[in-house]
Each structure stands twice: as structure tokens, then as C-alpha cells.
Amino acid sequence: MNSKSDRRLIASLLPVILMLTPSVCFAHTENDAGGFMAGLLHPVFGPDHLLAMVSVGIVSSQLGGANIWRIPVAFVSAMIVGGAIGIFQVPLPLGEIGIAMSVIFLGLAIFRVSRDTSPWLTFVFVIFFGMFHGHAHGLEMPASASPAFYTFGFLISTSLLHVTGVLIGEISTRRERLYSALRYSGAGMAMIGVTFLLNT
């Protein structure tokens, strides 16, 4: 991709980023702010969550077409369901194993998928793993937090991480050297996921 195309891509994605980011600056009451900020920061400071969220965006970009928005929307939708289950403290078996497996699967997906790959297996796993990530967010909601604002916070954070992954993928997939580095970083991420799994 040439620099003109890069600028066009970033310009097209910028409105999406700007729509998501103003909410970070809104003022709330003390209780609402605590819930919102806790939800906003939770995916960023958990390395397993951070890797998975960014990877969803990268993989959706590698698959291309409508998958760029369909796969992240599927993940976020599943995460909402899992988050609601977690907020009500309903147990989800093998939650930590599911999160570790999501890092392994998404890392391998970055290494393997391309525009010619069928997206359906990715859809199934993204929905499955989105439930586990949402459940973990819901379980870890502070007792004093507002469920609505906490959920809003982690959905915004997740969406921004997806957009970041899409930007990484869109730039990398159009440059052979960067794309090779991206694919091998996916393999490395899968190995990190194995360490998460061994430590569960």
C-alpha cells in the first residue's frame, strides 16, 4: 500500500475512533465514574485480555471485506452476554482456561489466516471466547460499581482495542515485510497463550 492509500485508510477509520473516544472524557458521579473507569481499564491492564482484543481486530483485517466489522461485533456481542452472566455471579466452567485458549487460537489465526480463508471457524471461536472474556469482566466488577457504567467502560475499551488491531492489520497486510513480522508475532502470541494456560 502506498502512503496515499495509508492516509485514506486512517482517514476512513478516524471517525469510528472519534465516536468511541469522547465518552472517556464524560464527567460522572463518584459511583458511576468508579464503575466506568474500572471497566475501561480492565481490558488494558490484563495482558491476556489485551492480546485477545487487539488480535480480534488483526484477524478480522486479515480476513478482509465485511469481516472487518462482523468479527469484532460478534466478539463484543458475545462479551455482553458473558458479562451479564458474570455480573450476576453465575459460574462459567473453565473460564481461565477459555481465556488462555483464546490467546492461543487468535495467535495461530494471525499466523495462518488470509483473505482466502473461510471466516466461519473464526466466527465460532470468537463468539465462544468472547463469552469467557465478558464473563471474567463481569465477575471482576467492583462491588461498589454501577453495572451499566462498568459494562459501558469495558465495551468502549474493547472496541478501541479492536480498532487498534484493525489498523495494525490493514497496514501490515499490505506490506510484505510487515506482514511476515505480523504472522510470526502471531505465532509468538500463541506461545504466550500456552504459558497462560500452564499457569491456570
Name the pLDDT band for 8 (thresholds 50, 70, 90). low
Residue with more model confidence, 130 or 151: 130
- Tell me what the mean pLDDT of segment 125-153 comes to: 87
State pLDDT tens for residues 79-88. 999 989 998 8
Q: Are 53 and 43 in contact (CB under 8 A)?
A: yes
pTM for the structure as a whole: 0.81
- Mean pLDDT estimate for the chain: 83
- Identify the residue with better confidence: 177 or 66: 66
Q: Pick the range with the lowest mean pLDDT from 94-103, 137-146, 175-184, 190-199.
A: 137-146
Place of cell 485480555: 49
Residue % of the chain over a pLDDT of 70:
82
DSSP readout, 50-90? HHHHHHHHHHHHHH-TTHHHHHHHHHHHHHHHHHHHHHTT-
pLDDT band of residue 37 (cuts 50, 70, 90) is confident
